[in-house]
Structure 1
Amino acid sequence: MESPEKLNTSKLRLLRCRDWLQKQNSENSDQISQKNNNEVEYIITSNTERENLPSEPEDESIPAGIDESSVKPKAVPLNRLRVEGLHLECEWQSCRMYSTNYELFQKHVRTHTSDLHKMDKGGTVEFVCLWDICGHKTSDYPEMVRHVNYHAYHSRLLAIGFNGRATLKLERCKKDSSKRNQLPEVTHEHWCMWIDCDNKFSSIQTFFDHVNQHVKYADKLVCSWAGCGMTFARRVLLTGHLRSHTGERQIACYHCGQHFTCNRKLCDHLRRQNVNPSSAYSCPLCGVKFATEYLLREHARQHVSAYACALCDMSATTPAALAQHVRYRHLPAQHRTHRCPHCPYRAVNQYDLRKHIPTHTRKRKKDNKDEETDDCSDEENTVVKKPRVAKKYACHMCSGDKIKVFSRGTILTTHLAKVHGAHWPSGHSRFRYQISEDGMYRLTTTRYEVLEVSKQIVDGYSDPKESLKNSFEFDVRQVAEASKTSPRKYEIRLKGADAPVKPDIPVEPKDPVNPESSVEPDSSATSAVAPVEITMCDVDDQGNIISSKVIESDVVYGS
């Protein structure tokens, strides 16, 4: 039998536990009621609180992230990585169902389309996805159905990447995990563009399975996707190529949610973040270290320009960079499609327009800024910004022991232009600076180019450079439709140069001595053309025909 002292001690502990529980229930009663009522506001606030939580200690089994599974990854055979040992987790609010069967998991996730939260927005219903760390909103119900089905597909990729870390022996990802379940927008149905097939799907996995059936039963190893027509020696190559059309992915990073087309991309994604400081693979040009020799080779391409501009001395590392240069430096202003509603400014893309519009509404007076800061709460005023590291720009052309140092690159640019007479090459918009070993930024004086590109720039411009304001107008005409073995064909010509001629109207050739001189066509050719009847109508404001008149004309109107 226990002594009275022990009984009193145990009784005291029970009383303390009861008091503590009552206190916690009284403090959190509002949040508990909100959670039970399935309020979206509570979900959003709880997610933001979890984003601001301090990082958990590193675990050897899984990366630390928001609501990540406590199950350890399994090292499965590489050829069975996508079908064996998958731990599929439904992250819908208050669900947390686990499954190893992907088909059953898809059916389960599809049932959550009836559990969507509905919000009234000015007479229209807005649907909210309750998947963890998602928060996608839309008023289009079919779009939300496609979005929920995408979560099932994305969960499978996360499960594959979860085991892939153990199978491929990779270290954990160090990126932010609060955006793991934020998916790309699926505004349209998944449409199969295989020739003679126009099926549409709301489930992305069903769409991929359907396209794979086309590959499986294809007679010839030809990509019959509209506009392609590529041929392959093996069926597996055609399957991999078709993913470039459908956007299918094979694996995803379990921590940050980024998905990739193959295992190699995931390995590169994780190895870039876990570089050994003593790595032997370092770039000789910028000193950045890499985990593998392959990543070093991929990085070195960023330093070597392999594409030359035909209008100036600019060279670029990729075709996309060269196209971007042409858009900004050589595209006439009248061909920029994004127009500012407040001024005549025209932007190249939508991003530049969004950056320009605030210049018309920005408050520049200091008094207005002070009023805005006074209205802010104490919590907003207590936000501490990270201190900005001051950069130092040094002039490499000044002689003497004392180096001239500037606080901004624009000041150094003015110094180089006025004092030393330096100017940037044709096609470049400014000077570029790179950090040196002493931590100061100096002018980049070396540009690495492929030998053919250097010859094209040096030898290809014996005459003076053309003006950057030259504008070109083109005619684009489709000449053939896509077939099972060939893509669509287009014809692009400069306007006014070698224009196509109608076969029914004979045209005399130009004078070879003076090609610019105009030659009158034979009168017999024009007389052979039948006259054209034109009906001219007078209409009122409502579009009703008041009177009409038919006239004949011998003028041929081309399309």
Structure 2
Amino acid sequence: MGDESSSSTKDDKQKLVRCIEWLQKQNNEDTEKLENKNDIQFIIQTHAARKNFLLAVAEDDATVPAGVNEPSLEPRKVSRYRLRVANLQMECEWQSCRLIFSDYDKYQKHVLNHSSNMHVIENDIGVEYVCLWDVCGHKTSDFNEMVRHLNYHAYHGKLLAIGFNGRATLKLAPCKKDSSKRNHIPLQVSDYNCLWVGCEENVKYNSIQLFLDHVKVHTNYSDNILCSWAGCGAMFPRKEMLTVHVRSHTGERLIACYHCGQHFANNRKLCDHLRRQNVCPNTPYVCELCGTRCATEYLLGEHTRQHISTYACTLCDMSATSPAVLASHVRYRHLSRKDTRTHACPHCEYKAITKSDLRQHILTHKKKKKKGKSIKKERFSDEDNSDSDCYEVKKEKKGSSARKYACHLCPEKSMMIFSRGNRLTTHLVKEHGAQWSFGHSRFRYQMSEDGMYRLTTTRYESLEVSEKIMDGYTSPKVPLRNLGFKLRQVADPTANTPRRFEIKFKTEDIDMKDDAEEMEVDKKPDKENKVEIMMCDVDEEGNIISSEVIDKSDLIPKLER
């Protein structure tokens, strides 16, 4: 009894210390300035700090301590078969609400009623609505979008309640990610529209739950267990497999991590999400290529697939590990800049290929003078100490945690070590004449057993990709870059076939043919655009003797002669 009482007093002291620290953060000068400057932003950041504090206390178990005037929540163990139905505690996280529901229908209606309590900001353009859901802060000028946004909050709240009980039911470790964005949900730009071929109800839904219930009716009564979603046509041996497949079209999720808010399509992905963050140091599942430790054999297999290239570029010798990497390679290396640079910068004439590139570029316009001075100082010190970046192994600094890039071609006694990978790249090209493979844009480095980063000299590819490259499927003699292309839709989607497009690259031959076709079209007489010319004969004094009206099309063969 004495040990239990002492442990309880220690826990109470730790909670008290955390409460004091959190109160000190709330009363500092920065929050006071922020409160006077923008009340909405102050509310959002205060809620984020409070949520981080509440979830930090509950690292040992899934219990979330109660705040001021808030009920305490404790996970309830239920069977896996009834995890999504039984003992759900769905919390309304709207500002100053904090009601808990066990009925999902009542919870949805309650959340939607908060659409009349939104914060409204008037500006020159019109009215802007602000969501006061905890750690959200979404803003939009479209009221219908805000309604869809609130309906998704209710749907996401149900997933959080399932994940809250699921952590205790599945016996999962705690999540270690940042919880300040746990209620950041996807943008709801438009209504939900059913694309099931043959659907007679041509209705658009502003609630994702109503949309999912409607699609389930199609899957339950599907003929021949066929996915009739427009452009799919996949068939399955069992109806359960069809139900799982349709989630890829509708975006349905079944469970969410209560700490960070990320939602998943099944329980296994949530387990993998938490197991990746809690890897045992003595785990037997270690990647032989990079030394990464994994929690399970399945995660090790998924990680190893990242090292093997299974997709080949048809324009060069580039091989990629995923379709997304291959698409990015083609977009940056082979397509013309006029066709791909569609994201314009609002501050200058720069155009980016992707939104992420545009965000990085906009940051260059927002840099402060202090940061610019510090960057100049760093560059000046790097230029003065450029020789110190190349040193022998014996002259290593003790306690340095920065990465070290070693040259594998230099002798061990005079092995050169660099502080940056681009400097090692320059050394390999100038001193040893190394070149990267055609189609690849740079060298890649991986950590060795001694902790040094060395050049990756082995490329792992699947057998099919290797055969394509060796048989001359790729490897053009001249590198193809800045290719223009024309995109034309060939066929509309059906129940069994997707929408098909035809892509043609713009080459000189194609451009010449297109110009010739345009010239032929111009030469053909247009009945709608006829021009009549009046030919007049006059005498010496300028009087008209005779006149004749002639079409312009009648003069073309005479001029050609």
Normalising by structure 2, what TM-score? 0.74
* Structure 1 residues 222-245: Cα deviation after superposition (integer angstroms, max 9, x where no partner): 222222222233222222211111
Counterpart-to-counterpart distance in 2, 1:405 and 1:113? 61
Equivalences for residues 203-214 of structure 1 within 5 A: 203-214=207-218
Counterpart-to-counterpart distance in 2, 1:347 and 1:116? 35
- 1:243 alignment counterpart: 247
Contact 1:63/1:255, CA 8 A, preserved across alignment: no
Counterpart-to-counterpart distance in 2, 1:449 and 1:323? 18
Matched, 1:254 2:258: yes
For the residue of structure 1 that corresponds to 2:222, the secondary structure is: coil
- 2:528 alignment counterpart: 534
Equivalences for residues 241-320 of structure 1 within 5 A: 241-320=245-324
Q: Structure 1 residues 497, 217: CA separation in 2 closer, same or farther (over 3 Å shift)? A: farther
Counterpart-to-counterpart distance in 1, 2:202 and 2:318? 44
Offset, 1:97: 1.1
Counterpart-to-counterpart distance in 2, 1:66 and 1:353? 42
Q: 1:482 aligns with which of 486, 489, 493?
A: 493
* Structure 1 residues 444-475: Cα deviation after superposition (integer angstroms, max 9, x where no partner): 11111122322322331798633233735345
* Structure 1 residues 406-434: Cα deviation after superposition (integer angstroms, max 9, x where no partner): 22222211111111111111111121112
Contact 2:310/2:320, CA 8 A, preserved across alignment: yes
Q: 1:158 aligns with which of 157, 160, 163?
A: 160
Matched, 1:352 2:357: yes
Q: Structure 1 residues 190, 490: CA separation in 2 closer, same or farther (over 3 Å shift)? A: same
Q: Structure 1 residues 368, 415: CA separation in 2 closer, same or farther (over 3 Å shift)? A: closer
Normalising by structure 1, what TM-score? 0.74
Q: Structure 1 residues 343, 460: CA separation in 2 closer, same or farther (over 3 Å shift)? A: farther
Which amino acid is 1:487 matched to?
A: P
Offset, 1:367: 11
Equivalences for residues 325-364 of structure 1 within 5 A: 325-338=329-342, 346-356=351-361, 361=365
Counterpart-to-counterpart distance in 2, 1:352 and 1:128? 28
For the residue of structure 2 that corresponds to 1:119, the secondary structure is: strand
Matched, 1:396 2:398: no
Counterpart-to-counterpart distance in 2, 1:429 and 1:406? 20
Offset, 1:483: 3.2
Counterpart-to-counterpart distance in 1, 2:292 and 2:507? 51
- 1:413 alignment counterpart: 425
Contact 2:52/2:179, CA 8 A, preserved across alignment: no
Q: Structure 1 residues 169, 536: CA separation in 2 closer, same or farther (over 3 Å shift)? A: farther
* Structure 1 residues 217-264: Cα deviation after superposition (integer angstroms, max 9, x where no partner): 334422222222222332222222111111111110111100001111
Counterpart-to-counterpart distance in 2, 1:120 and 1:106? 28
- 1:130 alignment counterpart: 132
* Structure 1 residues 246-295: Cα deviation after superposition (integer angstroms, max 9, x where no partner): 11111101111000011111111111111111111111111111111000
Counterpart-to-counterpart distance in 1, 2:220 and 2:440? 51
- 1:12 alignment counterpart: none
Contact 2:55/2:259, CA 8 A, preserved across alignment: no
Which amino acid is 1:428 matched to?
A: H
Contact 1:161/1:251, CA 8 A, preserved across alignment: yes
Point out where structure 2 has 5 or more consecutive residues left out of the alignment: 1-26, 375-398, 513-519, 533-549, 557-561
Counterpart-to-counterpart distance in 2, 1:366 and 1:268? 43
Point out where structure 1 has 5 or more consecutive residues left out of the alignment: 1-26, 371-386, 500-515, 517-525, 539-548
Which amino acid is 1:456 matched to?
A: K
Counterpart-to-counterpart distance in 2, 1:69 and 1:250? 25
Report which stretch shifted further, 67-76 or 214-223: 67-76
Counterpart-to-counterpart distance in 1, 2:351 and 2:269? 38
- 1:105 alignment counterpart: 107
Counterpart-to-counterpart distance in 2, 1:41 and 1:206? 32
Which amino acid is 2:329 matched to?
A: H
Q: Structure 1 residues 434, 219: CA separation in 2 closer, same or farther (over 3 Å shift)? A: closer
Counterpart-to-counterpart distance in 1, 2:296 and 2:321? 22
Contact 1:55/1:64, CA 8 A, preserved across alignment: yes
Contact 1:304/1:448, CA 8 A, preserved across alignment: yes
Which amino acid is 1:397 matched to?
A: L
Contact 1:65/1:177, CA 8 A, preserved across alignment: no
Q: Report the count of equivalent residues.
A: 470
Q: Structure 1 residues 200, 298: CA separation in 2 closer, same or farther (over 3 Å shift)? A: same
Contact 1:363/1:369, CA 8 A, preserved across alignment: no
Counterpart-to-counterpart distance in 1, 2:59 and 2:340? 52
- 1:509 alignment counterpart: none
Counterpart-to-counterpart distance in 1, 2:425 and 2:329? 21
Q: 1:234 aligns with which of 234, 238, 250?
A: 238
Contact 1:311/1:468, CA 8 A, preserved across alignment: yes
- 2:478 alignment counterpart: 466
Matched, 1:442 2:454: yes
Counterpart-to-counterpart distance in 1, 2:216 and 2:422? 55
For the residue of structure 2 that corresponds to 1:533, the secondary structure is: coil
Q: Structure 1 residues 431, 39: CA separation in 2 closer, same or farther (over 3 Å shift)? A: closer
Contact 1:63/1:172, CA 8 A, preserved across alignment: no
% identical aligned pairs:
54
Which amino acid is 1:406 matched to?
A: F
- 2:545 alignment counterpart: none
Counterpart-to-counterpart distance in 2, 1:289 and 1:65? 34
